[in-house]
Amino acid sequence: MAKTLPKTDVVIVGVGWAGGIIASELTKSGLNVVGLERGKERKTEDYFMVHDELRYALRYELMQDLSKETITFRSNEKIRALPMRQYGSFLIGDGLGGAGVHWNGQTYRFLPYDFEIRSKTVEKYGKGKIPAEMTIQDWGITYDELEPYYDKFETMAGISGEENPLGGKRSNPYPTPPMKKTPAMQMFAEAAGRLKLNPYMVPSANLSENYTNPDGISRAACQYCGYCERFGCEYGAKADPVVTVIPVANKTGNFQIRTHSNVRRIMHKGGKATGVLYTDVTTGEEIVQPADIVVVTSYVFNNVRLLLLSELGRPYDPATGRGVIGRNYAYQVIKGSAIGFFEKQQFNNFAGAGALGVSLDDYNGDNFDHSELNFIHGGVVSLGQTGARPIQNNPVPSGTAAWGPEFKTKSLHYANRALSIGTQGASMAYKHHFLDLDPVYKDVYGDSLMRITFDFEQQDREMSKFLAERCSEIMKEMGADKVDYLKELGPYEIMTYQSTHNTGGVMMGSEPDASAVNTYSQMWDADNVFVVGASSFPQNAGYNPTSTVGALAYRAAEGILKYKDKGGLLV
């Protein structure tokens, strides 16, 4: 029999970005909050020896231990799903702060188009533009409605940036000025200018200068140390939950964090959650934490998995298209890129920061005409300088041998002579891309793993080819002596790192029939359950997701406070 603890106002499942934000907002308003986090405690002092590429980038020091839990994957329903036995396509966060600790900090807002993609596409190009099996939806909330929450997230994190000429309207400028511009970024910006494009500095959660936020949290400026993505920041310069929102929650005295607590079920009765069941992973003990409100912020995969394991909400059935939990899984199409080799110039490629770069949105959203194109949407185009660490960065021109003297000579020669331009292609939802419980494989507690059914579609192949060609044009304009770029996307595969931008499965919308949560991330089927994260994106935009996750978390926190007052569905 599980031990039952005293009831709390709110229990939060997973203390990463979404969980941390909600904890800080609710505890500031006086609610008692318990945060259950499966991983360990984390602090900045842990990163004294962090400039270690092998340990953090290749052995995944900070990520989920796959021996305990992974996902299974298949390209389509005809194939047997098999476990992702080793890391590849995405890297799942674990421990206090979640993936928010080892992210890059590129903090883009989505475009107004993204939130109303179906209606705007139909309006401009007609119904025929959207293939029958493409299940994209409007979010039920517009950019303008979400704007104040973006602003809150950016102010909390101290985002460094400058206005995007093609972005949505802003109520305030970025709280800190843009990062420094490297010679390579300067070349990109100038080339883009000559091509009549609209470059701007990547909005960055690596601080351009010392910053104190409205909660009184002070952080130091980024040192461009080049060990950002996959690493924790030894300066606390990179906004992560551990150095921003979690200390604010702790200070109120209303927040109790329990690490090493793996939540396994949401307990519910008659359409209301009563609390959660978790395992103390240090003792194996099963514990029930009763709560008035349950907030699920355990990242996309476990958000969906916990609902399905708990039999809460209507599971998606791909055969009929009915049900919502697991529906509209999407990703990011990032392979459309170009790499340029410069004979006469060397760059400080070893230096950089996770969100250091220049971007442009001329080929993102509906900022360009799609009438003659076989795809919708597009993606942000960027030249980033994130620190080219030597094990993982050995670019050589196409046609070079993969090993031996030629590889060695060329990889040394080009180590500081190659630049790349990348894109983050949007990922549309399809009827046959979804998440459900794997019938065979289990985690270390005996619970079914999440199963992903996903592949790239014609839309993705056309879009990434188009984007790669645009990247190559800019690279040529920058004066590269040789440019290689993606010619053919190929199938989706689970082995190569692409991005940790998984989305969907608990999608947001204005109608209970076609969505799992409303725009406060409140479940239609259980009004005291809030499921927050990129799991609520109906499809993915052409940017990194976290700014939007943060905005939705601030909005959810507001909704929870309203709900605590009045109860019932908030919309």
Ligand X SMILES: Cc1cc2nc3c(=O)[nH]c(=O)nc-3n(C[C@H](O)[C@H](O)[C@H](O)COP(=O)(O)OP(=O)(O)OC[C@H]3O[C@@H](n4cnc5c(N)ncnc54)[C@H](O)[C@@H]3O)c2cc1C
Q: Does 181 sit near other proteins (CB under 8 A)? A: yes
Q: Which of 4, 212, 223, 409 binds ligand SF4 (CB under 6 A)?
A: 223
**Which residue, 160 or 298, is less far from ligand SF4 as judged by CB?**
160
Interaction residues for other proteins, span 227-266 (CB under 8 A): 234-237
Q: Which is nearer to other proteins, 79 or 571 (CB)?
A: 79
Listed ranges 27-35, 45-53, 306-314, 543-551: which one lies at the site for other proteins (CB under 8 A): 45-53
Residue in the structure block whose two tokens are 């993982």: 392
Is 471 an interacting residue with respect to ligand X (CB under 6 A)?
A: no
Site residues for ligand X, window 325-364 (CB under 6 A)? 354-355
- With beta carbons less than 8 A apart as the criterion, state whether 220 and 207 touch: yes
| By CB under 8 A, residue 52 contacts other proteins | yes
Lookup result for tokens 């065979």: 440
b or e along 134-144 (b: 16 or more beta carbons within 10 Å of the residue's beta carbon)? bbbbbbbbebe
Q: Measured in whole angstroms, how far is the alpha carbon of residue 63 from the centre of its chain?
A: 14
Q: Please pick, from the candidates 225, 529, 549, 570, the single residue that binds ligand SF4 as defined by CB under 6 A.
A: 225
Dump strand ranges (E) for 197-349.
200-201, 211-212, 218-219, 255-258, 261-269, 272-280, 286-296, 327-330, 338-341
Interface region with other proteins, contact rule CB under 8 A, candidates 308-316, 437-445, 460-468, 521-529? 437-445
Q: Exposed, middle or buried, 413 (CB in 10 Å: 0-12/13-18/19+)?
A: middle
| Cβ contact 432:387 at 8 Å | no
132 makes contact, choosing from ligand X, other proteins, ligand SF4, none, with CB < 5 to 8 Å by partner type, with: none
Strand 8-13 vs strand 286-296: parallel, antiparallel, or unpaired? parallel
Pair 308, 380: CB distance under 8 Å: no
Instruction: Please select the residue that binds ligand X; options are 136, 263, 381, 523, rule is CB under 6 A.
Output: 263
The first and second tokens of residue 43, run together, are 């602090």
DSSP 414: H
Of 13-21, 113-121, 171-179, 408-416, the window that binds ligand X (rule: CB under 6 A) is 13-21
Q: Which of 10, 12, 228, 553 binds ligand SF4 (CB under 6 A)?
A: 228
Member of 27, 44, 104, 160 binding other proteins (CB under 8 A): 44
- Exactly one of 549, 552, 560, 570 binds ligand X (CB under 6 A); that residue is 549
Only one of the segments 66-74, 285-293, 363-371, 517-525 lies at the binding site for other proteins (rule: CB under 8 A); that segment is 66-74
What is the bridge-based pairing of β-strands 286-296 and 33-36?
unpaired
Query: Could you tell me the end-to-end alpha-carbon distance of the chain, in angstroms, rounded to an integer?
Result: 38
> Stretches 16-24, 80-88, 151-159, 520-528: which one binds ligand X (CB under 6 A)?
16-24
Number of residues in contact with ligand X under rule CB under 6 A: 41
Q: b/e per residue, 442-481, with b = 16+ CB within 10 A?
A: ebeeebbbbbbbbebbebbbebbbbbbebbbbbbbbbebe
Looking at the Cβ atoms of 221 and 373, the one nearer to ligand SF4 is 221
Which positions are catalytic?
501
Q: How far is the CB of 135 from other proteins (least distance, A)?
A: 23
* Rounded Cα–Cα distance for residues 37 and 52 (Å): 26
Asked if residue 89 binds ligand X (CB under 6 A), the reply is no
**By the 8 A CB rule, do 58 and 392 touch?**
yes
* Token pair listed for 347: 């760059």
DSSP state of 430: B
The residue (of 66 and 221) whose beta carbon lies closer to ligand SF4 is 221
Map the footprint of ligand SF4 across residues 302-361, applying CB under 6 A.
Answer: 353-354
Element housing 4 (H / E) = strand 3-4
Does 180 sit near other proteins (CB under 8 A)? Answer: yes
Q: Which of residues 364-403 bind other proteins (CB under 8 A)?
A: 390-391, 394, 402-403
Which of 13, 249, 333, 541 touches ligand X by CB under 6 A?
Answer: 13
Q: How many C-beta neighbours within 10 Å does residue 163 have?
A: 13
Indicate the residue whose CB is closest to ligand X: 16
Identity of the residue, 246 or 475, whose beta carbon is nearer to ligand SF4 in the bound complex: 246
Report, in Å, the least distance between residue 38 CB and ligand SF4. 24
Give min distance, CB of 211 to ligand SF4, in A: 12
Instruction: Report the relative pairing of strands 3-4 and 272-280 from DSSP bridges.
Output: unpaired
Pairing mode of beta strands 448-453, 482-485: unpaired
Q: Name the CA dihedral angle for 314, 65, 24, 300, rounded to a multiple of 10 degrees.
A: -30
Point out which span in 223-231, 301-309, 316-324, 459-467 binds ligand SF4 (CB under 6 A).
Answer: 223-231
56 touching ligand SF4, by CB under 6 A: no
Q: Which residues bind ligand SF4 (CB under 6 A)?
A: 206, 222-225, 227-228, 231, 233, 235, 237-238, 353-354
